[in-house]
Structure 1
């Protein structure tokens, strides 16, 4: 099975081409760029460099979220368009799980973290069980203070992600024995790891209704709902 994997869920953009467990090629850029301008050229160049055509894939795998609202829309829209146009399978994978997948040598709970602003995070808990990355706590949007209290039940914790450093002091104050990843290549999304997760997952049945998993409404939408709650309730009653 040949797979094209795409992750634009955060600042890092990564695209990979894999066949079964073999890496054919990968493109990753970590500097801040406009993903809407760089994603398709990156895919086009990578596909050309590995000697394939756009139709040479069996499956498109995309990081579905959570993460940057704009980044997720770009990645998911591109993946959906390619899958529909080329009549290929589409698989969505948690962006947090994809990050946790980097930590293949870690024993215990792996805690991927994305900063969600105002001391909130997108996070979850994962663990390798018999070589398979397993969800221990489902992805969520949560206050970091509350999350750290929740994690006290674990004996072994490994925090990973570029944003973890922002919370280092807070983490160590509550969980002094927690380990914080210091391996730079594990801190960012890896297209190859994403492709492997996608290889093992079931494809989407309905591509048209496949959407990013934001976990939280955008701030503008939340503010609108605060001001229009009665209108929404009246509309629901009418329906």
Structure 2
């Protein structure tokens, strides 16, 4: 089964081509450039380099969020379009789960995170059990301080990973002390090969109704809804 994995949910642009036996090819960059103009050329180049034509693809796997509103939307839109036009199944995987998948060596909990500004983070809690990544606490948008307090109650080792970890490292160290561990820089980038592996055997989504998991409304939408509620209260 030839699988194309697509992740544009954050600054990382990750594309992978894999099958059930190996990662055939990966393309990863970690630069703040417009994914909308770079993702399709990256896909085309990877397929060309690996000697695979689109008609030979049998499944699309996409990182469905949380993350950058625009980035998540770009990846999901392209994945849906390709899956529909090729007539192949599509599966979505949490962007945080992809990030948590790499440090499988860690004997404890794994907390991947993306910064969400104003002290907030996107995060969840994961753990490897019998070689499989399992969700311990669902993905959420939460204050870093509140998350640190919640993890402190576990009284267990927690590995924090992701390119934004350094922004909140002091908070976690203060609360968790010796139970706070931090991934190495080379593990910060979510691997598109891991994305493809996680989504390989997931059930197919209904392509037309499949939508990103933003977790929280973007600020503009939230403000608009707040104004509408205020208007309704005055009626």
**How does the TM-score come out when normalised to structure 1?**
0.94
Tell me if structure 2 keeps the 8 A contact 1:21–1:196: no
- Residues in 2 aligned to 1:133 and 1:69: alpha-carbon distance in whole angstroms: 26
Report the 3-state secondary structure (helix = DSSP H, G, I; strand = E; otherwise coil) of the residue aligned with 2:150. helix
Tell me if structure 2 keeps the 8 A contact 1:8–1:35: yes
Match of 2:182 among 180, 183, 202: 180
The structural deviation recorded for 1:166 is 0.4
Cα distance change on mapping 1:69 and 1:151 into 2, 3 Å? same
The structural deviation recorded for 1:106 is 1.0
Aligned residues between the structures: 233
**How does the TM-score come out when normalised to structure 2?**
0.96
Post-superposition CA distance 1:148-181 (Å, at most 9, x none): 1110122110000010100111111111121011
Out of 90-99 and 12-21, give the one that drifted further. Answer: 12-21
The structural deviation recorded for 1:232 is 6.5
- Residues in 2 aligned to 1:39 and 1:48: alpha-carbon distance in whole angstroms: 14
Cα distance change on mapping 1:145 and 1:131 into 2, 3 Å? same
Post-superposition CA distance 1:13-60 (Å, at most 9, x none): 010000114011111111211000100000001001111111111110
Alignment of 1:137-216 (within 5 A): 137-154=137-154, 155-177=156-178, 178-182=180-184, 184-204=185-205, 206-216=206-216
Tell me which stretches of 4 or more aligned residues in structure 1 moved more than 6 Å: none
The answer for unaligned runs of 5 or more in structure 2 is none
- Residues in 2 aligned to 1:199 and 1:44: alpha-carbon distance in whole angstroms: 21
RMSD: 1.5
The answer for unaligned runs of 5 or more in structure 1 is 235-239
The structural deviation recorded for 1:200 is 2.9
Check if 1:128 corresponds to 2:158: no
